[in-house]
A and B are shown apart, each in its own frame.
Chain A
Amino acid sequence: MAECHPVAFRWVMEAKNRGATIIHVDPRFTRTSAVADLHVPIRPGSDIAFLGGIVRYILENDRWFRDYVVHYTNAATLIDERFRDTEDLEGFFSGFDARRNKYEWESWSYEGVQGVVPAAGHKEVYGEKGAGRHDLRAANVTERETDPTLQHPRCVFQLLKKHYARYTPELVEEVCGVPRALFLEVAETLCRNSGRERTGAFCYAVGWTQHTVGVQYIRTAAIVQLLLGNMGRPGGGIMALRGHASIQGSTDIPTLFDLLPGYLPMPHGVLPDRGLDQYVSNNASATGWWSEFRKYIVSLCKAWFGAAATAENDWLFDTLPRLTGNHSHMTTVAEMADGKVKGYFVMGENPTVGSMHGALHREGLRKLDWLVVRDFALTETAEFWRVAPEIDRGEVRTEDIATEVFFFPAAAHTEKDGSFTNTQRMLQWHHRAIEPPGDCRSELHFAYHLGKRLKALHAGSSEPRDRAIQALTWDYGEHGPTAEPDAERVLREVNGYTVADGEPVPGFAKLSDDGSTACGCWIYSGCYAGGVNQAARRKPQGEQHWVAPEWGWAWPMNRRILYNRASADPEGRPWSERKRYVWWDEAQHRWTGYDVPDFIVDRPPSYRPERGATGLASLGGDDPFLMQADGKGWIFAPAGILDGPFPTHYEPEESVIENPLYPQQCNPARMEWHRRENPYHRAYGDPRFPYVLTTYRLTEHHTAGGMSRWLSWLSELQPEMFCEVSPELAALKGLRNGGWATVTTARGEIECRVLVTRRMRPLRVRGRAVHTIGLPYHWSYVGRVRGDPANELIPFVADPNVSIQESKALTGDIRPGRHSFGRRSVTDGEALQEPRPTGEEAPRDLPGLHARFRHPPVEPRK
């Protein structure tokens, strides 16, 4: 955190100064470790074992927050009797379909209630052929069976205990390389700093997401935080430290394949031709806040298609394109390499450096008809056709690359109006200071004028496929010397307005499904309330209270802490005066506090839904997690997660050890790309690649370097690519501090300088020494300072939930000196895989076993 988010770390130092204990769990000793109270070196890829160990510690030592857990989580809920745990099935949960490497979730359901809609939406679960069986959800979630004593063997609490029973301190030591005493100190510190009077927080970054089990890392932390009562409370929670100025915004208003704005799923091919009703029924929930789903999709269609969207034509919903599976980044690049993608827009991103397996990306770019790159300078992605190792080696000739490339210079944030959404979901407006130089333009300008030209090109068409672009509302004004569209008008549409008079709506509660409102992103509704750009508010911090609600605007409805109803006890009183945040004011008969209550504001704590209640009426006064259908925090995820209802330790795709917990080595639902250019090492114990590689960022640079490698003030601070190794590994391999090394995987080979440092430590894992090689990934072939890019080493392999690659834990080799020939698996075949090891290769998956675990098809409930 101190490395990559130094200013956010200001507040950690502040907390430390006030007595907080800072624990840093990281394979490397970093700038964060230097000021933490405790640094815990851990083997990359073993965090679920570590966090699972904490879950077990909490349960075994009765350190969980009983009132919180019983009332606010689904610990008491009974699970379907067909559910089987990984403990029963050698590392699988029940429901695994070996033919498709996917789980069927029926057996994970709440007893008697199938298909509960999760807060995150259904994702791909309803994207499969034959899915969308709404009848499965005939039973109402209010009718679920619970055991508030938490004794029933099939209640979530007991299942949790069983699932983590083997995650003992001894096991943590064996899997993670974290000595027992150190682990126990972490677990005890966390427990001691949680409860009514105290809260503990988790902060993570891509060190957790870039794994084949990345989502489950974060799920495990969520379970810990729910058990300790740390969610929805000040000083608690789980904080994702994200790496780009508006990466949160680009997820909320997604430039992502599977989402429409506001986390509405993209329509799927399984829908009937006239699909709106089925789409709503697949994705809406009978209970909880997602029962409002229809209002949001109809209002989105009204915002996009204006007067052309009518009740009769289902608001033109059927003109939206539909998915038939995964169209994520890596899938798209693989299809590009296969020649299926013809045109590619790349804006403010440099994938041949920042994404995994740069050479495979370049192969994809070579197969395009046209490529548009928008950036400040000519990045490696723009220059792929003349600056690349395969071109230096003569394996690819520039003249043979048929891709037409356009480079458009981008305007900087100082040259345009607009909002960024920061990592705390807060929108902040930045004002244009000057006009952009030369032909530099904003992406707003590019998108708007491209759209205008495309509307003109399609204006006369009578093709049904052109109806959407013809109907698209596209009126954002043009002003100034560059005919820049008005960003505030876009924000106004995002906020939503009543169709009749165009007045901005005050928030999503006022949206309707009858076409009378339009809204571009329902969760952002309220950001332009009263016709005022709320994101541009800048009341000085010193002139408001500590929550600072009048600086910027946080979605939803300016709430600064999500699910903050949980900061009060079931009766609506603060858990403690010290940690007072939002509470029930009986006199006013409403929720009040320092923050906007994240709850139905006049619903008393004593309210209990009728059995069978639907919509918002189904949320009880003690159901703080109102996006969930049952209003509870999900320790057990009956739906929405594709690789299991509980997080389970699996080894990375490439590991140095076999899975000490289960015969199943890796996440069985992970995504792999079996291609010639994408070879994997052996699952573990590959003699060619005996060391762990992990990639990361440095304070002085920014991601793939497009915003730092060209600047002298930053480049001089970290001028060259290097790797970090321990003195032990250096001695073993003859590496010299300041000297050169060559790092190889089956995908590629790179050269870098060497830092020999005690900040890297060999760890004792299962009685062996495990050495980790640290690789910053900022450098590449152009820019003011250059070096080999670490991501040339990383394969395509991904987490099944979010399609994010595994670059924080893989295997590789290192030797002293400059021995790289710039070879890549894409253009140089299999040379990097030689010599092939002899002996039987241990499988990642247990072939033939899957079918045994598969459940007989479940009959829909009538």
Chain B
Amino acid sequence: MANLPVLGEWPVLRQIAARDASGLDGTAESARTRALRPRTASADRVARSVCPYCAVGCGQLVYVKGERIVDIEGDPDSPVSQGCLCPKGAATFQLVTGTHREQHVLHRRPGGTRWEVLPLEQAMQMVAERVKRTRDETWQERVEEEGAEHQGDLVRRTLGIAHLGGATLDNEENYLLKKLYTALGIVQVENQARI
């Protein structure tokens, strides 16, 4: 039937060939069905990753095709998770590819009633300038309050700037943040470990 591709698609002929009188044994499979392969089979590459939700640290495989993620699932090699994921881990694909993700820097002016889009570079510079300004304005070389328990103590810091968050970040990110803040004299640095 190789010579008769169109006829070959006619299930009756396949039924006869397969001696499938009832037609219930798969001879009705369409070309699409016969060509079915997992979408991961054609992935360009697979990155090894770790689930971003809780601290169990389940292994993930991230399948990429055409610079888009096509699938995320458990890594069977992981001694932690052996390929399993919980519902949150299994939803990671939606977390990282979902339309809920903002892709622009947004700015709300003091007293403003709406968000405005800002270019990334400009926003970075605005933040850097605000950090410098606030730090300069609130710098505390020594405790100067009269009668304070620590009056006269050298403290070299600002209590005008604070940070929150870190448990969802990478170690390397926390390291740079802590290093930068400490060098700037920012001490009110906290994260989810405190709750």
Contact = CB atoms under 8 A, between A and B. Distances in A.
Nearest to B163: A345
Residue of A252, A429, A454 with highest tally of chain B CB at under 10 A: A454
A376 B172 contact: no
A319 B155 CA distance: 9
7 contacts: A242-B167, A250-B192, A255-B191, A323-B155, A457-B128, A468-B184, A493-B175
Contact of A321 (B92, B131, B186, B194): B186
A703 B115 contact: no
Given A418-B173, A450-B128, A433 B55 contact: no
A348 B88 CA distance: 17
A251 B190 CA distance: 10
B133 to A, nearest CB: 9
B172 A491 contact: yes
B81 A406 contact: no
Contacts of A399: 111, 113
Interface string B124-153: 111111111010011101010000111001
Given A255-B191, A345-B163, A713-B91, A408 B170 contact: no
A7 B88 contact: no
B22 to A, nearest CB: 38
B155 A322 contact: yes
Given A321-B182, A343-B160, A349 B167 contact: yes
Interface of B: 45, 47-60, 62, 64, 67-69, 72, 75, 77-82, 84-92, 94-96, 98, 100-113, 115, 118, 120, 123-132, 134, 137-139, 141, 143, 148-150, 153-180, 182-195
Interface string A323-355: 111011100100110001111111111010011
A437 B179 CA distance: 27
B127 A406 contact: yes
A335 B188 CA distance: 11
Interface stretch (A153-161, A801-809, A849-857): A801-809
Contact of A269 (B155, B172, B179): B155
Contacts of A604: none
A836 interface: no
A86 B67 CA distance: 64
Contacts of A696: none
A450 B131 contact: yes
B110 A403 contact: yes
Residue of B49, B98, B179, B187 contacting most chain A CB atoms (<10 Å): B179
**Most B Cβ at <10 Å: residue of A241, A270, A439:** A439
Contacts of B186: 321
A404 interface: yes
B8 to A, nearest CB: 40
B80 A7 contact: yes
A538 B55 CA distance: 18
Contact of B153 (A270, A453, A712, A784): A270
Interface residues of A, number: 164
Nearest to A270: B153
Interface stretch (A284-292, A419-427, A610-618, A669-677): A419-427
Interface stretch (A39-47, A256-264, A587-595): A256-264
Contacts of B50: 245, 413, 420, 422, 428-430
A20 interface: no
A249 B178 CA distance: 12
A245 B132 CA distance: 32
A714 B88 CA distance: 7
A831 interface: no
B117 to A, nearest CB: 9
A472 B173 CA distance: 16
Contacts, number: 487
B39 to A, nearest CB: 15
B75 to A, nearest CB: 8
Contacts of B141: 465
Interface in A434-491: 434-435, 437-444, 446-451, 453-454, 457-458, 465, 468-469, 471-472, 476, 485, 487, 490-491
Given A399-B113, A414-B69, A711-B94, A324 B171 contact: no
Given A450-B180, A548-B79, A784-B100, A321 B72 contact: no
A699 B88 CA distance: 8
Nearest to A323: B187
Given A432-B47, A468-B185, A246 B169 contact: yes
A387 interface: no
Contact of A257 (B78, B90, B104, B188): B188
B23 to A, nearest CB: 37
Nearest to A243: B54
B89 to A, nearest CB: 7
B95 to A, nearest CB: 6
Given A243-B192, A255-B177, A707-B53, 18 more contacts: A253-B174, A255-B178, A257-B190, A322-B154, A345-B163, A347-B168, A402-B111, A420-B57, A420-B170, A422-B80, A423-B55, A430-B60, A443-B169, A450-B131, A538-B59, A542-B77, A702-B88, A714-B88
- Identify which of A246, A304, A542 gathers the most chain B CB atoms within 10 Å of its CB: A246
Contacts of A412: 52, 95-96, 101
Nearest to A316: B183
Given A343-B161, A491-B171, A708 B51 contact: no
Contact of B195 (A5, A7, A210, A713): A210
Interface string A608-632: 0000000000000000000000000
Given A342-B134, A803-B194, A437 B188 contact: no
B192 A349 contact: yes
A717 interface: yes
B159 A244 contact: no
**Which 8 residue pairs across A and B have the least CB separation, nearest first?**
A438-B103, A418-B170, A422-B57, A255-B166, A321-B157, A244-B167, A269-B153, A250-B166
Nearest to A371: B108
B55 A247 contact: yes
A469 B57 CA distance: 35
Given A541-B82, A804-B195, A449 B124 contact: yes
Contacts of B194: 256, 328-329, 802-804
B165 A717 contact: no
Nearest to A305: B183
Interface-central residue, A7, A254, A323, A423, by most chain B CB under 10 Å: A7
Contact of A708 (B56, B91, B128, B169): B91
A248 B55 contact: yes
Contact of A490 (B54, B75, B175): B175
Task: Specify which of A416, A451, A700 lies most central, judged by the most chain B CB atoms within 10 Å of its CB.
Answer: A451
A320 B156 contact: yes
B171 A245 contact: no
Nearest to A252: B171
A427 to B, nearest CB: 7
Interface in A525-576: 538, 540-542, 548, 551-552
Contact of B47 (A318, A433, A717): A433
Contacts of A320: 156, 182
Nearest to A494: B175
Contacts of B68: 434
A402 B192 contact: no
A548 B102 CA distance: 39
Interface string A784-820: 1000000000000000001111000000000000000
